Structure 1
Amino acid sequence: MSDRRGKAIKTVFPKEADTGLYRLKCISTTDFDRTERFDAWRETAYSVVDLEAPRLDEADLFAIKRSVHGETGVFASQEGSEHRTLFSRSASLSGAGDVVVISMMPVGELGLEGPGGALSMAPHGRLAAYDATRPMRYHRSAGREIYLLLPRAKALGALGGRIPGLFLLVDTIPLGVMVRDQMLALDRHAEHLEPKELAAALDAIHALALLLLQRIGRELNGSGEADANALFLAAKHYIQSNYQMIDLSPEAVARALGCSRSTLYRAFTLNDVTIMDTVRDVRLAMSRKLIEAATGRSISVIAYECGFKDPSSFGRMFRSRFGVSPSEWRDQFR
């Protein structure tokens, strides 16, 4: 083991990357012996930043971290005691710190200290982006942080340049609020999702985050259009999350994603589908699941809950898609 001055650590602790993709990993400081806790947590829970030793007047280190590694990045949340971390040059040189962090503190406060000791406070509960290759120190109060790690080249490429200042608020537009809400939802439900479901949720959030940076970059730079494939994936995710809306129209989807209706139409055309066909398919798939669940709700109620205005037209679309009526389908599961 090392002391808290950062000497070489002899004991080898498991790394998060060893757990495989799209599997939720939960670790806690209580998993380690008290005498080894600081070094074990620093080695196990951190790769992009370096954990600094607690001060003499601070409580003992306590933290719980949950993380999911995907093909396009990492999602994680951590709650616990007050602590500080440093974006380290060694992590950047090794490639581990070559990321952009999109973070929020739903509980507690976060301060960022740049070169020269100037401290900036990230607004509580807001979504902000940081460049992990820039030298800065995180001051976290007791609380909880939720964050994404995105490959730096992709993130800055989407943004169209560097992040101005220590951090950039990215929930200043509806799409940013949507990404923030999806991060909160994934943190709340991740432990109940299977790997395939985690993969779909995480990849969708990463696609939304890159589209968000692209939109913010267009506003900062005053030019450019959204990438069609990223826009298509983000629109599908939005539809899957809001299929219950009766007025879920191309205009509503375009407005939520911050693009023009014509740009959205082009993104769907390139994927050989239409917006409203996608809305219909998502609604039919969800209605079939509810019917299979035998909840006791009537077919008409299920149709309305899935965004269909008229039970009769819902029945015709259901039969056209699945070959039987909704009631006939329900009879198969009684």
Structure 2
Amino acid sequence: MPPAAPPCTLERLHTHDVEPALRFDAWRERAHQWVEMLPPPPGAALDAELLMLRGGGGCVFGTMRSSAYEMHAAARRMAHAPGMVVLTLIQSGEMLRDAAPGEHQRAGPGTLGLYDPWRMGSYRWSEGSREAFLALPRDVAQAALGREPGNLAIAPGRCTLAPALAAQLGHLALLVRQPQRIDAAEYAGLLDATRALALLMLRNLGRQGAGVDLPDARESLHAGRHAAALRFMELHAHTQGLDAGSIARGAGCSRTRLYEAFAAQGQTVMGTLRELRLQRAQGLIEQSPRLHVGALAWRCGFGDPSDFSKLFRARFGLTPSQWHQRAWAAG
């Protein structure tokens, strides 16, 4: 069995928790400790919420939504900040940052980037912006990347694992906004998997041109490969003929390394894919007032409706039709 992830804590900050006259100063000190946040324009109300998971390995995951605001690097605030770099996924809104003197770079929804607080310029976030981020210790990120981190936009085509990490960040952001769905131990496991996937992505990004499947004696990469493969499966579970080779390519590793990563979790690759597809089918049955078994099977990646029905019954004890009848009769 894989070792248990270290415990983590979930924190929530909201501007509405502070009276209006003190709102900006309180938010700046509690939510933007490493940078200088500029006051909003006269008459504009600050409305923001920040949720953070703090766990082992010195990493912090967060998701924040906010009204429009601007921030920039400030040496006096960075002097006491921990040595961290931040991977950020923009989920909605737009960020405008200084790319060079007199030049600006726009980043919209789906943009993934690595940011070094020590190298920040000016950053402006639009109204209704939302981001998910993972702060990593600088030395850990540097070891994974193989060079000094800096500000870097990570295009999906540049790194195989970028879409997987973006999906993982979005998934974790959704779960921290719904804390009743999982417990502290599950949060800890998800945070550990997100950290492992982020480090694996940085490692592969830093080794482009030298092969992406090199051994690393410092840290097991199984957790990162497992997380990457799960995200790839979720994105492509509907694809007919999805096999271990395709999943391995999506996770940026060989099939041998993929099998090792799942074995370390006490799982098999195709067994996990089958379970994911069946769970998806179960959810769709419960959401749909009408049931067409053939269409459902195809939508969930099963090519043969008969085989799908047999697998579904073996897993849940009822056929898809019986499950649908029970679910909608209860509703």
Which residue pairs with 1:44 in the alignment?
Answer: 30
2:309/2:319 contact within 8 Å kept: yes
Aligned mates of 1:222, 1:22 — CA distance in 2: 37
1:242 maps onto 2:225 in alignment: no
1:176 maps onto 2:177 in alignment: no
1:229 maps onto 2:223 in alignment: yes
- CA displacement 1:195-222 (0-9 Å, x = unmatched): 5188376555444322211211222776
Q: Superposed, which structure 2 residues align to 1:1-334 within 5 Å?
A: 21-22=9-10, 25=12, 27-28=14-15, 31-47=17-33, 49-54=34-39, 60=44, 62-71=46-55, 72-86=59-73, 88=75, 93=80, 97-105=82-90, 106-112=92-98, 121-125=104-108, 126-132=111-117, 134=118, 136-143=120-127, 144=129, 146-152=131-137, 153-163=139-149, 166-171=150-155, 172-184=158-170, 191-192=177-178, 194-196=180-182, 199=187, 204-219=193-208, 224-225=214-215, 227-292=221-286, 295-333=289-327, 334=329
Change (3 A) 1:145 1:234: same
Aligned mates of 1:234, 1:179 — CA distance in 2: 7
Which residue pairs with 1:15 in the alignment?
Answer: none
The one-letter amino acid paired with 2:153 is L
1:61/1:81 contact within 8 Å kept: no
1:75 deviates by 1.9
What SS does structure 2 have at the residue aligned with 1:247? coil
- CA displacement 1:21-55 (0-9 Å, x = unmatched): 346x3523x554443233222123223x1334449
1:101/1:130 contact within 8 Å kept: yes
1:293 deviates by 5.1
The percentage of aligned residue pairs carrying the same residue is 26
* Structure 2 stretches lacking a partner, 5+ long: 1-7
Which residue pairs with 2:3 in the alignment?
Answer: none
- CA displacement 1:62-99 (0-9 Å, x = unmatched): 34233231425212224323422325565564xx5332
Using the size of structure 2 for normalisation, the TM-score is 0.74
Q: RMSD value over aligned CA atoms?
A: 3.6
The one-letter amino acid paired with 2:201 is L
What SS does structure 2 have at the residue aligned with 1:44? helix
Aligned mates of 2:236, 2:148 — CA distance in 1: 33
What SS does structure 1 have at the residue aligned with 2:207? helix
1:89/1:135 contact within 8 Å kept: no
Aligned mates of 2:19, 2:179 — CA distance in 1: 31
Aligned mates of 1:21, 1:51 — CA distance in 2: 26
Aligned mates of 1:322, 1:137 — CA distance in 2: 54
1:83/1:141 contact within 8 Å kept: yes
Aligned mates of 2:76, 2:245 — CA distance in 1: 46
1:319/1:326 contact within 8 Å kept: yes
What SS does structure 2 have at the residue aligned with 1:297? coil
Q: Number of aligned pairs?
A: 303
Aligned mates of 1:154, 1:269 — CA distance in 2: 26
288-297 or 192-201, larger mean C-alpha shift:
192-201
What SS does structure 2 have at the residue aligned with 1:196? coil
1:323 deviates by 4.2
Aligned mates of 1:27, 1:189 — CA distance in 2: 18
1:101 deviates by 0.6
Which residue pairs with 1:16 in the alignment?
Answer: none
The one-letter amino acid paired with 1:162 is E
What SS does structure 2 have at the residue aligned with 1:100? strand
Aligned mates of 1:139, 1:324 — CA distance in 2: 54
The one-letter amino acid paired with 2:295 is V
The one-letter amino acid paired with 1:209 is A
1:285 deviates by 2.6
1:123 deviates by 4.5
Aligned mates of 1:141, 1:330 — CA distance in 2: 45
Where relative contact order (Cα < 8 A, 6+ residues apart) is larger, the structure is 2
The one-letter amino acid paired with 2:70 is H
Aligned mates of 2:179, 2:51 — CA distance in 1: 13
Which residue pairs with 1:14 in the alignment?
Answer: none
Name which one, 1 or 2, has greater alpha-carbon Rg: 1
* Structure 1 stretches lacking a partner, 5+ long: 1-19
Which residue pairs with 1:10 in the alignment?
Answer: none
